[in-house]
Amino acid sequence: MEINKVMVIGAGQMGSGIAQVCAMAGFEVILQDLKDEFLDRGFSGIRKNLQRQADKEKITAAEMEETIGRLERSLSIESAREADLIIEAAVENMEIKKTIFAKLDELAQPHAILATNTSSLPITEIAAATDRPGKVIGMHFMNPVPVMKLVEIIRGLATEDSVYEAVEQMTHSLKKVPVEVNDFPGFVSNRILMPMINEAIFTLYEGVASREAIDEVMKLGMNHPMGPLTLADFIGLDTCLYIMETLHEGFGDDKYRPCPLLRKYVKAGWLGKKSGRGFYEYA
């Protein structure tokens, strides 16, 4: 199962990062989104990232231009007809993902692999929206994609061995480390990370310590590169809430109950770094 051309759906931070690493690894890449402004922002981010690497002499100017030359933009999901692997990196919403995958099932070549970058939603349920569940798989990249080495590869109930092997091999070619994970809510990364962040929010909510103190304890005491409240701001508090709700619903266990303070901040529009305010303020 040979992968030569990759299509990435969604030109946001995750999608553009995935497109960048695929292009850097030598794959022809179609980056697709609904509006020119989204694609402009995505391509601008890719160019800035590549320029930063060129300035640090991690890549040459020629390699930068070659990478950009392997990237193509598209406003139509019909471009899926050309791809061997399609990686969906759209908004984290089950109904939207199922709609996209049903359409991809109609358009993509019979051999094409349909992957989702979901961070918590069931691969089996997404696959059920298609008539090719054996060709559907999860590829959960970490943010920021060009920097982080891990890719969680999640099999759905019907995912074929050959599909897993092709995606695992492709992940190695991206200079990433693939880790096989079973299809449970939150997989491994978010099942462990998000309850920790949620508990940090409860610790603030209950007045145990200040935001700075909580982050400092985890940085200095546990050797984390950033504190959990800072990390939540970087991830996006709306995303944190959505994943906690997915865990709570998926397991039916109150240990995954989102903290009321997290809900309050999201309702206030305090979503973290992207909105200028979360647990901290951002200029």
106 is in an annotated binding site: no
What is the number of other CB atoms lying within 10 angstroms of the CB of residue 76?
11
**Tokens encoding 46:** 């890719």
Residue type, 170: M
11 is in an annotated binding site: yes
| Residues that are catalytic | 119, 140, 152, 190
What is the number of other CB atoms lying within 10 angstroms of the CB of residue 81?
13
15 is in an annotated binding site: yes
Residue 169 makes CB contacts below 8 A (sequence gap 6+) with none
16 is in an annotated binding site: no
Question: CB–CB of 271/237 below 8 Å?
Answer: yes
- Indicate left, alpha or beta for 102 from its phi (over 0: left) and psi (-120 to 50: alpha): alpha
97 is in an annotated binding site: yes
92 is in an annotated binding site: yes
Whether the ω angle into residue 144 lies within 30 degrees of 0, i.e. cis, is: yes
36 is in an annotated binding site: no
**Tokens encoding 170:** 């492709």
Instruction: Determine phi and psi for 61, rounding to 5 degrees.
Output: -60, -35
13 is in an annotated binding site: yes
Instruction: Provide the CB-side half-sphere exposure for 262 (13 A, CA).
Output: 27
26 is in an annotated binding site: no
62 is in an annotated binding site: no
Annotated binding site for NAD(+): 10-15, 33, 92, 97, 119, 143, 274
Annotated binding site: 10-15, 33, 92, 97, 119, 143, 274
